[in-house]
């Protein structure tokens, strides 16, 4: 039976493969069809509105369309449901693209993964989630990637600082959570951080604690240096800090009856040596810094299931933005790490060069400086090399070469003037 085109697009937008590898996938390929799959929260009446857009610059006008925030200084709350699943015994990969083309000053670019029993019509900032992942920017101080896991009802923030991208281009964010309790964070398909849940989150009490029964011995000497007992202060050491100026003279017209007793001005005493301190010598009784011995923490119990979430069923965008314009796209939840990387290459990888070509052309039109154009040319040359060596699209390779030629022409003109 031949399926309608809209049905085919829907299958492509949200897919579950035969082996269950892909749990959720959304690329917004069917126009306004996304409105039937994504639900806006009604918890507040003034949530910001979303629109479908590829933005001001893109690699492909249709393929690069995503959900864009459209109103400044608003909270946003939108979510999509999929077949519930557990990640027990399998990797969990959460991946999506974000483009802050508005030169974002303060706002979130992250996603939340919720349990399937979430009331989507009432999503808000306090709704309990399993995972929060993605970039967050506010001013110069906050430019980080959030990785927050909910464990036994409490949200736990990663202890490491992962810097996010803060330019206007599309970037791919990937979180991989493995059954061995290890994790990996990638940006643009490149690893930027990795480790284990136990080391990088405070989900469990520490394995070791300081022995409450141990105390530093009273005769423990941790002074590396001591005063030299044989050193004595010189007899002429103590001198006043200031003395009367020996060159000062009482003015001829000084009237003691009218002006009082004349006193010379005070000056710094050249003989003053300050407080005397005995010289320091090595302490013969020095034992080093006392280290508090540790014992096994009786409150610690290993949990091999910290990575596991039993009822994953909703992906949401619950965030605040001062300046709107962020575009979210290419959502993927899967247990196949290789599939996620390939999907990222096909989506983000295909659009990054096209976006850069458009930005370069805008730089040429807007009379950008020679230094900026030189940087643009350098990056385009690298993309050109990648295109050739990785056997990329012939059309794309030609577009890159043509843009490089345009940059060279503009540089020639600027240098000639």
318 annotated to a ligand binding site = yes
Distance CA 340, CA 185 (A): 13
Mean pLDDT, residues 241-247 taken together = 92
Q: What is the mean pLDDT of residues 126-155?
A: 96
Residue 401 vs residue 312, higher pLDDT: 312
How large is the average pLDDT for residues 387-399? 58
Is a pLDDT exceeding 90 seen at residue 401? no
Percent of the chain with pLDDT over 90: 71
Tally of domains in the chain: 2
**Residue 335 assigned as binding residue:** no
Tell me: do 91 and 139 sit in the same domain. yes
Strand partners, 28: none
Residue 221 lies in a domain: no
Q: Are residues 20 and 91 in the same domain?
A: yes
Residue 271 region, left (φ>0) first, then alpha (ψ -120 to 50), else beta? alpha
Neighbours of 128 (CB within 10 A): 12
Q: Look at residue 227 and tell me whether its pLDDT is greater than 60.
A: yes
Rounded CA gap, 332 and 320, in Å? 22
Residue 246, domain member (yes or no) = no
Does a structural domain hold residue 258?
no
> Residue 388 has what pLDDT?
54
Q: For tokens 């009490």, what's the residue?
A: 205
pLDDT tens digits along 156-166: 999 999 999 99
- Report yes or no: 48 and 74 within 8 Å, Cβ to Cβ: yes
> Is there a single domain that holds both residue 151 and residue 44?
yes
Indicate the burial class of 108 (C-beta count within 10 angstroms; 0-12, 13-18, 19 or more): buried
Q: Which helix (H) or strand (E) holds 56?
A: none
Q: Are 58 and 42 in a shared domain? A: yes
Residues 126 and 196 reside in one and the same domain: yes
354-371 tens-digit pLDDT: 776 666 665 555 656 667
* CATH value at residue 45: 2.60.120.200
The confidence score (pLDDT) of residue 9 equals 40
Q: Are residues 11 and 41 in the same domain?
A: yes
Residue 376 CB neighbour total at 10 angstroms = 23
The closest alpha carbon to 14, from 30, 3, 1, 121, belongs to 30
Mean pLDDT score across all residues of the chain:
87
The answer as to whether 294 is a domain residue is no
Burial tier of 149 (Cβ tally within 10 Å: 0-12, 13-18, 19+): buried
DSSP assignment of 119-141 equals: -GGG--TTS--SEEEEEEEETTT
Q: What tens digit of pLDDT does each residue of 19-44 get?
A: 558 999 999 999 999 999 999 999 99
247 annotated among ligand-binding-site residues? no
Residue 244, in any domain of the structure: no
pLDDT in tens, 165-224: 998 889 999 999 999 999 999 999 999 999 999 999 999 999 999 999 999 999 999 999
pLDDT value for 360: 62
| Model confidence pLDDT, tens digit, residues 370-386 | 676 666 666 666 656 66
Closest by CA position to 148, among listed 164, 137, 134? 134
Query: What does the alpha-carbon distance between residue 247 and residue 254 come to, in Å, rounded to a whole number?
Result: 17
Output the pLDDT for position 5. Answer: 39
Report the 10 Å Cβ neighbour count for 3. 10
Q: Spell out the residues 6+ positions from residue 114 whose beta carbon is closer than 8 angstroms to its own.
A: 79, 123, 127, 128, 129, 130, 312, 313, 314, 315, 316
Boundary residue ending a domain (279, 314, 335) = 335
Per-residue pLDDT at 339 exceeds 90: yes
Q: Which long-range contacts (CB under 8 A, 24 or more apart) does 283-291 make?
A: 283/221, 283/223, 283/224, 283/225, 283/226, 285/221, 286/221, 286/222, 286/223, 286/224, 287/220, 287/221, 287/222, 288/222, 289/222, 290/216, 290/217, 290/220, 290/222
The long-range contacts involving 379-383, CB below 8 angstroms and separated by at least 24 positions, are 380/356, 380/404, 380/407, 383/353, 383/356
Looking at mean pLDDT, say which of 170-179, 339-348, 398-407 comes out highest. 170-179
What confidence tens digit (pLDDT) does each residue in 41-92 have?
999 999 999 999 999 888 888 999 999 999 999 999 999 999 999 999 999 9
- Regarding predicted confidence, which is higher, 201 or 405? 201
pLDDT over 90 at 352, yes or no: no
CA distance 60 to 413: 30
Residue 313: name the closest of 153, 86, 133 by CA.
Answer: 86
Torsion of CA 403, 405, 407, 411, to 10 degrees: 180
Same domain assignment for residues 69 and 157:
yes
- Quick: pLDDT tens for 251-283: 988 888 888 998 999 999 999 999 999 999 999
Q: Are residues 311 and 416 in the same domain?
A: no
Q: What is the pLDDT of residue 109?
A: 97
Instruction: Please give the Cα distance from 269 to 328 (Å, whole number).
Output: 73
Q: What is the pLDDT of residue 374?
A: 65
User: Percentage of the chain surpassing pLDDT 70?
Assistant: 80
Distance CA 413, CA 378 (A): 18
Q: Kindly indicate the confidence band of residue 1, based on its pLDDT and cuts at 50, 70 and 90.
A: very low
**How many Cα atoms sit within 13 Å of 142 on the Cβ side?**
13
110 is in an annotated binding site: yes
CA dist 362 → 44, 98, 162, 325 (Å):
39, 21, 31, 19
The verdict on residue 230 lying in a domain is no
Q: Of 205, 180, 165, which Cα lies nearest the Cα of 304?
A: 180
Point out the domain boundary residue: 285, 313, 335.
335
pLDDT digits (tens, 9 = 90+) for 281-315: 999 999 999 999 999 999 999 999 999 999 999 99
pLDDT band at 4 (very low <50, low <70, confident <90, very high): very low
255 within some domain: no
Residue range of the domain that includes 415: 337-417
144 and 93 housed in the same domain:
yes
DSSP structural state of residue 264? P
Q: Using CB atoms within 10 Å of the CB of residue 260, give its burial: 0 to 12 exposed, 13 to 18 middle, 19+ buried.
A: exposed
356 is in an annotated binding site: no
């Amino acid at each position: 039976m031949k399926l309608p085109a809209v049905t085919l697009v829907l299958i492509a937008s949200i897919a579950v493969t035969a082996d269950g590898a892909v749990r959720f996938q959304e690329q917004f390929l069917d126009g306004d069809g996304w409105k039937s799959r994504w639900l806006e929260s009604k918890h507040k009446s003034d949530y910001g509105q979303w629109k479908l857009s590829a933005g001001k610059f893109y690699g492909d006008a249709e393929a690069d369309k995503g959900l864009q925030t459209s109103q400044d200084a608003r909270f946003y709350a939108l979510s999509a449901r999929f077949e519930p699943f557990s990640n027990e015994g399998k990797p969990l990969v959460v991946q999506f693209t974000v483009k802050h083309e508005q030169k974002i000053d303060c706002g979130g670019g992250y996603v939340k993964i919720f349990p399937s029993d979430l009331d989507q019509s009432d999503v808000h900032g306090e709704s309990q989630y399993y995972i929060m992942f993605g970039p967050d920017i506010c001013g110069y101080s906050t430019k980080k990637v959030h990785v927050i896991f909910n464990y036994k009802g409490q949200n736990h923030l990663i202890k490491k600082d992962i810097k996010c991208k803060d330019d206007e281009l599309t970037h791919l964010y990937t979180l991989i959570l493995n059954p061995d309790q290890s994790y990996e964070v990638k940006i643009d398909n490149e690893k930027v951080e990795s480790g284990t849940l136990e080391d990088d989150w405070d989900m469990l009490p520490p394995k070791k604690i300081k022995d409450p029964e141990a105390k530093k011995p009273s005769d423990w000497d941790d002074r590396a240096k001591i005063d030299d007992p044989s050193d004595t202060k010189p007899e002429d050491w103590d001198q006043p800090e200031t003395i009367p100026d020996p060159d000062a003279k009482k003015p001829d017209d000084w009237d003691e009856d009218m002006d009082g007793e004349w006193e010379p001005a005070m000056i710094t005493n050249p003989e003053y040596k300050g407080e005397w301190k005995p010289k320091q010598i090595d302490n013969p009784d020095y034992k080093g810094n006392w280290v508090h011995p540790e014992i096994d923490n009786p409150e610690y119990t290993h949990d091999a299931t910290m990575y596991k979430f039993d009822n994953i069923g909703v992906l949401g965008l619950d965030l605040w933005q001062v300046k709107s314009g962020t575009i979210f796209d290419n959502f993927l939840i899967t247990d196949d790490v290789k599939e996620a990387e390939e999907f990222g290459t096909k989506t983000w990888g295909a659009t990054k060069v096209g976006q850069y070509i458009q930005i370069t052309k805008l730089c040429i039109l807007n009379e950008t400086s020679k230094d900026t154009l030189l940087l643009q040319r350098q990056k385009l040359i690298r993309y050109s090399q990648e295109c050739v060596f990785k056997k990329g699209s012939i059309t794309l390779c030609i577009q890159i070469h043509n843009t490089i030629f345009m940059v060279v022409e503009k540089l020639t003109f600027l240098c000639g003037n």
